[in-house]
Amino acid sequence: MCGIVGYVGIKNAVEVILDGLSRLEYRGYDSAGICLKDKDGKLIQYKKTGKLENLTKVLVEESPSSSPIGIGHTRWATHGSVTDFNAHPHGNEKINVVHNGNIENSKQLKNRLESEGWTFCSETDSEVFLVLLTKYLQTGPNGSPLSLEEAFSLAFEEIEGNSAFVAMERGSNKIVAVKKGAPIVCGQSENGDNLFVASDPYALLGHTNEVFFPEDGVICLLNPDGPKKILFKELNGRPSSRVFSQKQNRNLRPSHRGRFDHYMLKEIYEQPDLIRKFADHYTHGEGSHSLENIKNLTPRLFHLSACGSAWHAGLCLKNFVEKDNGIPVLVDLASEFRYRNPLLSDRDIGLFISQSGETADTLAAQKLCLEHGLQTISIINIEGSTLYRKSDYNLLIKAGQEIGVASTKAFTLMVLTGHLFSQKLASNDLGQCHTKMMELADGIEKVLSMSDRIQEVAHEIYQKKGFLYTGRGKYFPIALEGALKLKEIAYVHAEGYAAGELKHGPIALIDQDMVNIALIGPELYGKTLSNIEEVRARNGIMVIIGPQGDKELERLCRYYLPLDFSGSSELNPLLVNVVTQLLAYYMARYKGTDIDRPRNLAKSVTVE
């Protein structure tokens, strides 16, 4: 969600920080800010609501002097409205702070601090940490002023909830950072002249060849004047070894839309090639070793937790594993998993799906499983993320960076990873899997060649009042995903339902302004037809995505999008899904929304 970039070194901090924040724009945000030192060593803030370009304009107008140190932030509002004043950094003449996360006990801390005479200026919970930090810098428990690191540790120990903090002070060129349940990464240039801290390793690409991920409660100290430029300490001040390091494997190749108007459309079109590379990686390449590691697992059952599109992918995985292996898979929304008091056994395995590997609710679900002695497996896109580091086994989806906030290619590859996982668990021939995935890639290319027709249908229906996506069996998760895509980027009411559930309530919504997008495969064909007739009888607008050459389906609907289902039947839902991705994209385009960065959404949800 919030993006953080801190820098100290020999370059102009403005340029480094703005470059890093621009790489994190895909995460979603509503304001941006930066703190620098002026030529007299004073801390100066610049903050602006809206896109990063608004902040950049302010900096061009103000033309601050070159500063070797600074911290920057893109805010996704949780406490307090979207205003310049609530934007980060928060600070005073001595200290400035940026924050990602939620301070769950902020109200209690604020009440206590106000009773002690401290005042607050913003509506944010983040300012509570600033005031605590200022208090301890002024007077520690023994009555004497504390150093930045000491005050930082004491203030952090009082905070409840998942948060990451980065701070800089007027009195030195040090930057300090700490986290609990929210991402922080740091690194230095090869010659050690430039030091960095960020909320995402992507912000550091091209600046450092190795990145460091401190564990929760480890202070990260950037000190350009010290013999060792980056230090890691426990909250008690002792050196810490609780740090994971990783080489930066990704190249800094600026992502461009190319011939596409939006990253989302580009990422939809990338799917065939990504599937082919994915299939080769796991059947003939290095990925085969990852699959070998999980083939002998024999759990009583799997507890699968995920959020959003990843949860929909989990429903697909459940279908694969239960059909291929006869092993129960309990699928939970990660935000609900802990609160239903799940019955966990060390004979079970926790299975987690996440694009970023930093989703707060998913990490909390994993933590609960680990506390009960379960082994854990992640299906994940970002190597080195928190979920990746804490899992016993990892299967990378190999989607590359996904810029569009609404997931497209990552969802497809999560489902395919689940399919391969299930096939390997069942000791099935992965050569056949490879063939099926290649057929799927070819099938998606055929779907993409239909984009003009899909765009025509989108134009006919985009102004309708609501949309019901329906599917049976393995098409039900795709109905959920299709509805989510439309909600995310077109800002219209859309719901996904199992087709058989229409008569149990949703059919009350059907009239001449309600669209039913029916996802139909060869399976359960007759029963699905009866659901279509029920909608037609109530004058609903029927869009059918179904098998090509079916005259009956063509007769029953107003708009027909035929697909070639001659490939692998278990992967056919992914063909249908690409149609729903394109439908959502074109409807959002006609509505004129911000498709790549839809309002109120964040790519990486790092708060609960």
Catalytic positions are 2, 603
3-state helix, strand, coil in the chain (%, to 5): 40, 20, 35
Task: State CA 225 to chain mean position distance.
Answer: 36
367-371-377 Cα angle (round to 5): 55
Helix (H, G, I), strand (E, B) or coil at 198: strand
Q: Helix (H, G, I), strand (E, B), or coil: what is residue 267?
A: helix
Sign for the CA dihedral angle at 256, 262, 263, 266 comes to: negative
**Residue 393, H or E segment:** strand 393-396
51 contacts: CB under 8 Å, gap ≥ 6: 25, 32
Q: What is the DSSP letter of 540?
A: -
355 close to 407: Cβ distance less than 8 angstroms: yes
Q: Cis omega before residue 89 (within 30°)?
A: yes
Angle, nearest 10°, between helix axes 126-138 and 106-115? 40
The answer to whether the CB of 231 falls within 8 A of the CB of 223 is yes
Q: Given its phi and psi angles, is residue 600 left (phi above 0), alpha (psi -120 to 50 degrees) or beta?
A: left
Q: How far is CA 460 from CA 268, 464, 542, in A?
A: 22, 9, 12
Question: What single letter denotes the amino acid at residue 552?
Answer: E
**DSSP, residue by residue, 96-139:** EEEEEE--TTHHHHHHHHHHTT----SS-SHHHHHHHHHHHHH-
Rounded Cα distance, 340 and 266, in Å: 40
Question: Could you tell me which of 49, 78, 74 has the C-alpha nearest to residue 162?
Answer: 78
Q: For tokens 């129960």, what's the residue?
A: 328
